Amino acid sequence: MITKKMNDALNAQINWEFWSGYLYLSVAQHFESVGLKGIANWFSIQYKEELDHALIFINYVNARGGRVTLAPIAEVPQSWESPLDAYKFTLEHEQKVTALINNLYQLAEDEKDFATRQMLNWFVAEQVEEEDTARELIDKFTLIGNDGMGIYQLDSELGSRTYTQASPLANKD
């Protein structure tokens, strides 16, 4: 079993992961609407990965005999000035999520909840990757600036990203 406090904290994180997914789906719609379909594709895949993150937490809470409750998902922004702006927003958001994961990790340590701590290790590593990827794309779009050909090429490159499930832990059982 997990404590009520840990259960509540994990439910809050589930909501954050869904919010992240909703956010990235919104970014995808923005770039779809301005004809940058590669970037839209990249964010659509990001959206699916966030749903995987939520499912990993959901499966974990159930496996520990907890109770998953789903809260409303808050509103997300609808538009961004440029790809660079969207990736800067992504990095800031992922840094916030990293802090949330770290808080959960601290709670698991405080409660001597070693199973939850172990489960969170996956997310600790995942957040390093999320931040690194966002930073890399910020660098690329900064380098390109307003060069239309550069944006066209990078958009094509991001269009080739394909979805693979973030972790088998997102599968039920």
Indicate the residue among 48 and 140 with the shorter CB distance to Mg ion: 48
Provide the minimum distance between the beta carbon of 91 and Mg ion in the complex, in angstroms, as a whole number. 13
Site for Mg ion in 39-98 (CB under 5 A): 50, 53
In angstroms, what is the minimal distance from the CB of 156 to Mg ion? 26
Nearer to Mg ion, 126 or 155 (CB): 126
Q: Which two tokens stand for residue 92?
A: 């800031």
Q: Which two tokens stand for residue 87?
A: 């990736």
- What number of residues does the chain have? 173
Give the burial string for 137-169 (b: 16+ CB within 10 Å, else e).
bbebbeebeeeeeebeebbeebeeeeeeebeeb
Which CB sits closer to Mg ion, 50 or 155?
A: 50
Interface region with Mg ion, contact rule CB under 5 A, candidates 11-19, 85-93, 104-112, 161-169: 11-19
**CA 38, CA 112: separation in Å to the nearest integer?**
45
Of 40 and 97, which CB lies nearer to Mg ion in the complex structure? 97
Shortest CB 147 distance to Mg ion, Å:
32
Burial of 64 (0-12, 13-18, 19+ CB in 10 A): middle
**Which residue is nearest to Mg ion, using beta carbons?**
53
Distance (Å, rounded) from C-alpha 40 to C-alpha 32? 5
Chain residues binding Mg ion by CB under 5 A are 17, 20, 50, 53
